[in-house]
Chain A
């Protein structure tokens, strides 16, 4: 067995914190691009905040977007270059708070883009504030005594939100152990395959660790994904629709 991360991600070093899930996510994306022969075609949008660090260490043509607008920007690029794979890479704050309108409407329109949302249950770059994905009782720098769902709502679940729409593909993986990381890669791969097939919005959420802002050792932060996050964010594939199926309806 030979294993070597693609040059697209190894050519330099990242600025991500030790134990951060972004590095794993980008290896998966890079491997998928290599396997599908799409490395030299991928157009990427990265949201501001931690995602944006990728622009310096991931070798794809990339747009650093305004907060929460990565999906809109990706749609613009995809419409102009429909033959290219186009992926919006963003965090849960971008996708489910400031960019909620963009997230919902891309589902409504079933735009032909790949969206990868990295859900770490908080705002990373700004220092660990509460997000719409923050778990009940979770202490953050803006929920000092634990998130009160009475006041702030329960963790936002994209699978529920997209239930009313038929999109190309919807899956949630977890970057929490070897098996789940491998499975997450298979979701990303399927998302890009379906994207290139023109099946519409291919959306993958990745549960990810943020040891820095959780004030946890990286191993603990990863264990927390399975123990604490997965109960609120079930894993698996939730939608898989093709163009043909949609046309029948």
Chain B
């Protein structure tokens, strides 16, 4: 397929269709609404189901029904709406059902605002809803990745029979770039024996419910599932990390400026690198093994509390200083990232 110019949100929607997604239920909220709008007409063209649900709660639970029936199902939201999705995500996780849920992040707690932000990191990576679960979280940094990761998300959701989240953001969702939509694939709703189809006489009926009701080994089962994710699904990009003294860690929109900061820094002779997590969970701890010369790490993220700092500290065993750079009010400028990184590195070095 040739490259076309597409908005991030629309590329994600089209790529979901390409992956065989034929069920969508969602609710309008900025900055994800283009996904809903696009699928409102495009889903018809590919013979799928589009429902504009009465709420995010209804939407995610419609997805649960569709997933249980064997479809590749998608719902999308942002900020406050994504919080409402948590009920369904927790149920999907507990019931071993695959589904893809997209959070096109915006800033702020509460109502927040519609501009890009990265304040949902904790909610995305720590489970978000009630109970003992977490989910694979894919963080696209370009329109192309919005498409590629949407397709991957469905495969991973089925591989693990688990909901998979996509942590997009307002900037990635709204920007227009050239993108190649992955090849269209068919999905057979009867592919998996666990889906509900109707119980034939003499068969055991299928029960879509908390798996632990029937599985006394559920604790091991779930722990093993997450261990497998951590072993097999870490995805990241590393730029100039091997000899870097200061390593930036950034995902999504802020990783784009961080990449630029590394290029500028290298031109100026600063030993700076970047680890860009593509999976926020499992956090790409393997990437940090490459950072052998690192004296400090600096996350670049658009939130107040530096939500990714903890994960970097865990990935480095708390052995190196970690600080956060970024604000909720504006995209980080690459010059400012570089200046802050240099200053931090100097402070760390002087401290020795």
- Chain B 59-94 per-residue mask, 1 if CB under 8 angstroms from chain A, else 0: 101111111111101000000000000011001000
Find out whether the CB atom of A45 lies under 8 angstroms from the CB atom of B65.
yes
Name which of A56-64, A121-129, A142-150 contacts chain B: A56-64
Cβ–Cβ < 8 Å partners of A39 in chain B: 199, 201
Asked if A41 meets B198 with Cβ closer than 8 Å, knowing A62-B205, A101-B54, the reply is yes
B residues in contact with A80, CB < 8 Å: 22-23, 49, 65-66, 69-71, 189
A220 interfacial contact with B, CB 8 Å: no
Contacting pair A81 B205 (CB below 8 A) = no
A236 contacts B by Cβ under 8 Å: no
Q: Does B196 contact A (CB under 8 A)?
A: yes
- Count A/B pairs, Cβ under 8 Å: 129
Contact size range, B: 35 or more
A62 touches B206 (CB 8 A): yes
Interface assignment of A65: CB less than 8 Å from any CB of chain B:
yes
A66 at the interface (CB under 8 A from B): yes
- In the assembled complex, the Cα of A80 lies from the Cα of B64 at a distance in Å of 11
Closest approach, in angstroms, between the C-beta of B64 and any C-beta of chain A? 5
Chain A CB within 8 A of B210 CB: yes
Chain A interface size band reads: 20 to 34
B200 within 8 A of A: yes
Interface members, chain A 57-91 (any B CB < 8 Å): 58-66, 69, 72-81, 84
Within 8 Å by CB of B87, from A43, A59, A66, lies A66
Whether B58 sits at the interface, judged by CB under 8 Å, is yes
Q: Are B70 and A63 in contact (CB under 8 A)?
A: no
Return B50 CB to nearest CB of chain A, in Å.
Answer: 9
Residue of A whose beta carbon sits closest to that of B70: A80
Contact A72 B199 (CB under 8 A): no
Expressed in whole angstroms, the minimum distance between the Cβ of A118 and any Cβ of chain B is: 19
Q: Is B328 located at the chain interface by the 8 A CB criterion?
A: no
- Contact indicator B66/A76 (Cβ below 8 Å): yes
Min CB gap B209→A, angstroms: 4
Asked if A243 is at the interface (CB within 8 A of a chain B CB), the reply is: no
* Chain B nearest Cβ from A81, distance in angstroms: 5
| Contact, CB under 8 Å: B208 / A101 | no
The chain A residues found within 8 Å of chain B, CB to CB, are 39-43, 45, 52, 55-56, 58-66, 69, 72-81, 84, 101-102, 104-105
Please report B residues at the A interface, Cβ cutoff 8 Å.
22-23, 25, 49, 51, 53-55, 57-59, 61-71, 73, 87-88, 91, 95, 189, 196-201, 205-210
| 3 A-B pairs with the lowest CB-CB distances in the bound complex, closest first | A76-B65, A69-B61, A61-B196
